[in-house]
């Protein structure tokens, strides 16, 4: 590697995927000088820090897809990593439940999917068994998924950052460094940030909600656009949290990548319920009325957005109405836990999902990683990216090793 550059590799984005990728590269190539740039003043500030903290089993994903493969492998690596580094986690299991006969065919499809993905221990259960696991849940059929768990992904990200810097004296994690431009030269690139420029041989884009913009900045047509969807959560009061033992999920609608409003016991013992999924007028807009003109224009000037909206306007209207109506949100929750009352839920956090959308309005569901010039761009890393992060990191390391000739 050339010593004329500040670093051999710049990773853009200190979410869990960016940090896991950098970590895996340092393990395989300890002499490579690597820096992770994060525009916020702390790590894992966006999708990693705003998700529901679930260690996903890999049950839902299309057999043979990158999602299915990396989720199963990533889950095992994540649990081993948490054990080794004493990061609190729990394999508590979850139930996916059908509350209406119309949901039974999709429930069967989910179970068949899980069997094809070889998810260990899954079983179909009836109303009595559901009551044994979740006494306050009312359902006609379900699936028990014993290998699902909960964890604090921010703690995982912080440990990865610590290990990256320990692996080599030249390795750095730099927060408050927003990438604003690339200054291309024959054998290196100057990555321009608000804190100055860094010269590097190679770039790995893990910018999440801004991955398409970083790609364009690098002269790469991503072939899609990131459209932000906000997910609002409620939280159960301390007394009401006793109504949920672990995780309760509805049967997902196969037409959408969202899993529906569900209950999640967090690692600190609190219980979150949500999220909905509504179009966000700001890529990092966690408030219901947050607005950014550039972000909104990027979304609404894209034909893919309109095609998606025309196709699913009724679903979108329902989600948006629930975002502003506690009564309607509660009604969704009561499908799973009928005894829940309005005074037992209080507003919680929100997250924004980076949904990659093709120009024809189709949702890009699987991971999308492109190599161009001296860069690798992780253009789409949707859920279960946090669970799968270490396995995604292995893949990025393989791509980088081959493509950058490390």
Residues 6+ apart with CB under 8 A from 24: 390, 393, 394, 396, 397
* CB-CB contact of 248 with 262 (8 Å): yes
Beta bridge partners of 192: 181, 197
- Is there a contact between 209 and 352 (Cβ–Cβ < 8 Å)? yes
Q: Which residues contact 289 (CB under 8 A, 6 or more apart)?
A: none
- Domain definitions of the chain by residue range: 7-48+154-224+365-403, 94-146, 227-363
Q: What is the Cα–Cα distance from 283 to 230, expressed in whole angstroms?
A: 9
pLDDT of residue 52: 87
- Tell the CATH topology of 7-48+154-224+365-403: FAD/NAD(P)-binding domain (3.50.50)
User: Selecting from 3.30.9, 1.10.20, 1.10.3470, 3.40.50, what CATH number does the domain 227-363 have?
Assistant: 3.30.9
Residues forming beta bridges with residue 363, ordered by sequence position = 357
Across-strand partners of 355? 227
- Measured on CA atoms in the order 209, 50, 335, 119, is the torsion positive or negative? positive
Report whether 2 contacts 187 (CB < 8 A).
yes
* 163: nearest Cα among 173, 151, 150: 173
First to last CA, the chain: 8
C-beta separation of 28 from 402 below 8 A: no
pTM score, whole prediction? 0.94
Amino acid 256: pLDDT? 65
Contact 305, 295 (CB under 8 A): no
Q: What is the CA radius of gyration of the chain?
A: 21
| pLDDT value for 2 | 47
- Res 365: pLDDT: 86
Q: State the pLDDT at residue 64.
A: 87
Phi, psi of 54 (to 5 degrees): -95, 135
- Given a cut of 50, the residues of the chain with pLDDT beneath it are 1-2
pLDDT single digits (tens) 276-330: 889 999 999 999 999 999 999 999 999 999 999 898 866 676 677 777 789 999 9
What pLDDT does 255 receive?
67
Peptide bond into 98 cis (omega under 30): no
Neighbours of 202 (CB within 10 A): 24
Taking the C-alpha atoms of residue 390 and residue 396, their distance in angstroms, rounded to an integer, is 10
193-222 pLDDT tens trace: 999 999 999 999 999 999 999 999 999 999
Q: Encode 3-36: b = buried (16+ Cβ within 10 Å), e = exposed.
A: eebbbbbbbbbbbbbbbbbbbbbbeebeebbbbb
Residues making up the chain, counted from first to last: 406
């Amino acid at each position: 590697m050339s010593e004329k550059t500040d670093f051999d590799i710049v990773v853009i984005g200190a979410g869990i995927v960016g940090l896991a990728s950098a970590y895996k590269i340092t393990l395989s190539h300890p002499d490579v000088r690597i820096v992770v740039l994060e525009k916020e003043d702390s790590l894992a500030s966006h999708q990693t820090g705003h998700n529901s903290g679930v260690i996903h089993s890999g049950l839902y994903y299309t057999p043979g897809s990158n999602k299915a493969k990396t989720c199963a492998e990533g889950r095992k690596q994540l649990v081993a990593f948490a054990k080794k580094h004493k990061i609190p986690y729990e394999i508590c299991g979850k139930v996916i439940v059908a509350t209406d006969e119309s949901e039974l065919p999709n429930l069967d499809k989910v179970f068949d999917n899980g069997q094809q993905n070889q998810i260990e221990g899954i079983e179909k259960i009836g109303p009595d068994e559901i009551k044994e696991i979740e006494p306050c849940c009312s359902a006609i059929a379900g699936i028990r998924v014993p290998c699902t768990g909960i964890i604090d992904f921010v703690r995982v990200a912080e440990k990865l950052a610590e290990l990256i810097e320990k692996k080599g004296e030249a390795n750095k994690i730099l927060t408050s460094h927003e990438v604003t431009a690339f200054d291309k030269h024959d054998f290196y690139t100057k990555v321009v940030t608000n804190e100055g420029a860094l010269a590097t041989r190679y770039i790995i884009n893990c910018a999440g909600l801004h991955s398409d913009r970083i790609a364009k900045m690098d002269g790469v047509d991503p072939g899609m656009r990131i459209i932000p969807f906000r997910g609002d959560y409620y939280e159960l009061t301390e007394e009401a949290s006793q109504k949920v033992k672990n995780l309760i999920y509805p049967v997902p609608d196969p037409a959408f990548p969202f899993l529906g409003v569900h209950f999640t016991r967090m690692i600190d013992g609190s219980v979150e319920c949500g999220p909905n999924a509504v179009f966000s007028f700001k890529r990092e807009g966690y408030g219901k009325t947050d607005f950014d003109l550039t972000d909104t224009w990027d979304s609404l000037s894209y034909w893919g957005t309109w095609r998606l909206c025309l196709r699913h306007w009724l679903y979108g209207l329902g989600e948006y109405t629930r975002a502003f109506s506690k009564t309607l949100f509660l009604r969704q929750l009561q499908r799973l836990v009928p005894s829940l009352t309005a005074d037992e839920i209080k507003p919680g956090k929100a997250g924004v999902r980076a949904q990659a959308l093709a120009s024809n309005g189709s949702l890009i569901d699987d991971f999308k990683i492109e190599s161009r010039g001296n860069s690798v761009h992780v253009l789409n890393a949707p859920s279960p990216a946090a669970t799968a992060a270490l396995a995604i990191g292995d893949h990025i390391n393989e791509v980088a090793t081959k493509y950058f000739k490390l």
